[in-house]
Amino acid sequence: MGRFTGKVALVTGAARGIGRRVALALAADGANVVINDVAHKDEATAVAAEIEAMGQQALVWLTDVSERTAVAGLIAATVSYFGQLDIAVANAAVSVRQLVVEAEWADVLRTIEVSQFGVFHTCQMAARQMAQQALNGRSRGKIIIIGSVHQELAVPRSAAYNMSKAAVNHLARTMAAELAGQRINVNVVNPGWIETPGELAHYTPEAIAEAGKRIPWGRIGQPEDIAQAVAFLASDAADYVTGAALRVDGGYVLGLTLPV
Question: Active-site residue 161, yes or no?
Answer: yes
- Residue of 161, 203, 240, 252 marked catalytic: 161
6-45: b (≥16 Cβ within 10 Å) or e: ebbbbbbbbbbbbbbbbbbbbbbbbbbbbbbbbebeebbe
Do 17 and 40 contact (CB within 8 A), yes or no? no
What's the rounded Cα separation, in Å, for the pair 210 and 1? 40
Do 194 and 252 contact (CB within 8 A), yes or no? no
Cα–chain center distance at 237: 19
**190: closest CA among 36, 29, 71, 18?**
18
Left (φ > 0), alpha (ψ -120 to 50) or beta: where does 251 sit?
Answer: left
Cα–chain center distance at 181: 24
Instruction: Report which residue type is found at 26.
Output: L
CA torsion through residues 165, 171, 177, 182, sign: negative
- List residues with catalytic annotation: 161
